[in-house]
Amino acid sequence: MPMALPPAADVEAVIVTAPRLAALPSEAAFSVINIDARTLGATGRLDQALKTVPGVSLFRRTGSDGANPTIQGLSLRAIAPSGAGRALVTLDGVPQNDPFGGWVIWTAMPPEGLSGVSLVRGAGAGPYGAGALTGVAALSELPVGNDTQLLDLSVADDGSSRGGLALTTGRLVVTGSAERREGYVPVRKGRGPADNPTNLEARSLSARLQGERDGVRMAMRLSAYDEARDAGLAGAASHASGTSASVSLARPQATGLGWRAQAWVRSSDLENTSVAVGPGRLTTTPANDQYATPALGYGLNGALQGRSGNLSWELGGDVRIADGEVRERFRVVSGAFTRNRVAGGRTAIGGVYGEGAWSSDNWVLGAGLRVDAWQQSDAHRQERDIATGATLLNLSPTDTSGTTPTARLALRRDLGENLFVRGAAYGGFRPPSLNELHRPFRVGNDVTEANSALRPETLKGVEVGLGGEAWSATLFATRLEDPITNVTLGPGPATFPVAGFIPAGGVLRQRQNAGQIEAWGLEADWAQDLGPVDLKAGLTYSHARVDGGTSVPQLTGKRPAQVPNLTLTSQATWQASEAFSLTAGLRYEGSRFEDDLNSRKLSPALSLDGRMDWNLGAGRSLYLAAENLTDAAIEVGETGDGIESFAAPRRVMLGLTLGR
């Protein structure tokens, strides 16, 4: 990981973080794990670094190097992943989830620009707000205070290349990245001319200007990203772009009141083309051309924090609004698109909360209450004939709204000798994204319809944990009500209302609130420092089952799609000398199902990564890294006609870091 050069001997280092408030002491009563800058810097992809923690996953096993942007949402604890993600991602308090789809563009946040990540698992809404259903990934950007220059350059054996940059001064942080990935062909057995590599080109740039006056920290941050991907099929590709801006003010609590205020805005656009695959995978034909998906999200949040003796408290609130629509051409006849569709709407969520924490030498008690009001409005779906302009479908679904209260309670007792016991109960909720409400999509011959009548998901959970200085174990039980699931309606070839014709080998699904999901499980983390060798290991076991009730009884007893029952991770780092270190990381995932009916089973997966680092002195280091070192076949998908697709094969990279 690129690290800052030490300051000159006669200069006192003054490190100032971004404007934010410290977490209340009660945060220690929840399941929290921190990822340091060294772990983040061992890879050029933030999502891969997060997956060193078991239970952290995107919707599929495919990482951000090869996955479509629409399935890059983050989820925790393997309760029920989704493309939108069921965990909230923030950067110094500002939400990073896409305003249209809730997913995260991971290439927009190069690890070189981060000082660490705090993963709060299963904490519910609390002060985090809507979206923190299975937890929160709280990212921290590099502080200001020292003049540093960090540069990481790498090339891979497949012709790929990447560069990451971070510059900091007394008031400014600039980060950027550029990547060109020569991709791989996901289909191995049964591959045909229709199968192409998943190439990637991505760029990002951000700048944060920060100052302080009379104890108040002020920061303005601007960022932009652009990435283009090939989807692995001839004619199927995506292009995602966006910009964001935020203004943050904070006066961290010292002896009096502390406060924070933030305003942010994010714009994004997605172009996504999909194709139908012909017999024998010989050809593809255009199926959808989503030529624009403009979206704008904006919001405010603020908090007031105080302390009196052993009691700490925080009062706050936030508002998030998102507007967006999908614009696409579809329904191909004689090689040309014949229909045009525009569909979208607006979502708005606003909430207020209060949190209190009481702490003594051995006890921590925390309690909080939150109330959110939500609204789904301005929904529209219009379909026209391209040749004549005639309106073929014009839907204006009724606005919906509601109020959702949530709460959380946590207790921790330190037993001495680095041993503690804790327990927590919590609730959280996630309203559906504009993507789930309004955007249909197609993968090969499988079609998934949107659903403007979706209700928010809510989760209730309890957990109890035991831990020490370098280990912890937690038992948890949760109930996810009204989970948004892709429900199978029928196979092709057939014609369905609204969706139209589904070809042979494909199925029609629709996003629906599918009863409830009950899950219980165990998560454990362990670390040991054995002198020159550092060891880390973790596991997450999750037993999750759907109760479809009367709405989708065919799903009762089924495991949620894309949920593994067991995930194991381990990592060993050997510091052989001051100049040389060797790291190996192992990840095992149990089997999972591709679909809601559990008819397409994906095999277990075992992957090994490795890295060697040489310190060349004078702020320079060289590294050799390998992903999927054993070239394991990691199955990530299966179509209705049995065609399997796989994650990336072995990839070896040579890199140079300047600024260590």
The most confident of the ranges 437-441, 500-504, 566-570 is 566-570
Tens-digit pLDDT profile for residues 312-341: 999 999 999 999 999 999 888 888 999 999
- Least-confidence region, from 26-35, 238-247, 456-465: 26-35
Q: Cα-Cα-Cα-Cα dihedral of 408, 413, 419, 421, to 10°?
A: -40
Tens-digit pLDDT profile for residues 270-303: 999 988 888 889 999 898 899 999 999 999 999 9
Q: Say how far apart CA 63 and CA 308 lie, in whole Å.
A: 46
Does the pLDDT at position 40 exceed 90? no
Instruction: Give the residue-averaged pLDDT of 254-272.
Output: 91
Site of tokens 């998906």:
293
pLDDT at position 14? 59
Instruction: Give the residue-averaged pLDDT of 589-614.
Output: 93
Instruction: Give the residue-averaged pLDDT of 518-537.
Output: 94
Does the pLDDT at position 536 exceed 90? yes
State the pLDDT confidence band at 4, using cuts at 50, 70 and 90: very low
Average pLDDT taken over every residue of the chain: 90
Residue 388 neighbours by CB under 8 Å, 6+ apart: none
pLDDT at position 255? 64
Does the pLDDT at position 636 exceed 80? yes
Instruction: Give the residue-averaged pLDDT of 81-89.
Output: 85
Q: Is 392 left (phi over 0), alpha (psi -120 to 50) or beta?
A: alpha
Does the pLDDT at position 417 exceed 70? yes
State the pLDDT confidence band at 474, using cuts at 50, 70 and 90: very high
SS3 call for 265? strand
DSSP line for 268-337:
EEEEEEEEEEPGGG--EEEEEEEEE--EEEEEEEEEEEEEETTEEEEEEEEEEEEEEEEEEEEEEETTEE
| Residue 333 and residue 365 in contact, taking contact as beta carbons nearer than 8 Å | no
pLDDT at position 77? 86
| Residue 108 and residue 101 in contact, taking contact as beta carbons nearer than 8 Å | no
**Dihedrals φ, ψ of 324, to 5°?**
-175, 165
Does the pLDDT at position 660 exceed 90? no
Q: Is 116 left (phi over 0), alpha (psi -120 to 50) or beta?
A: left
Percent of the chain at pLDDT above 90? 67
Q: Which tokens belong to 286?
A: 């255009």
Does the pLDDT at position 553 exceed 50? yes
Q: Which tokens belong to 78?
A: 């393997």
Does the pLDDT at position 421 exceed 50? yes
pLDDT at position 5? 36
Q: Say how far apart CA 172 and CA 174 lie, in whole Å.
A: 7
Q: What is the pTM assigned to this prediction?
A: 0.92
Q: Say how far apart CA 381 and CA 343 lie, in whole Å.
A: 4
Q: For residues 311-323, b (16+ Cβ closer than 10 Å) or e, as one string?
A: ebbbbbbbbbbbb
pLDDT at position 159? 92
- Give the Cβ contact number of residue 302 at 10 Å: 16
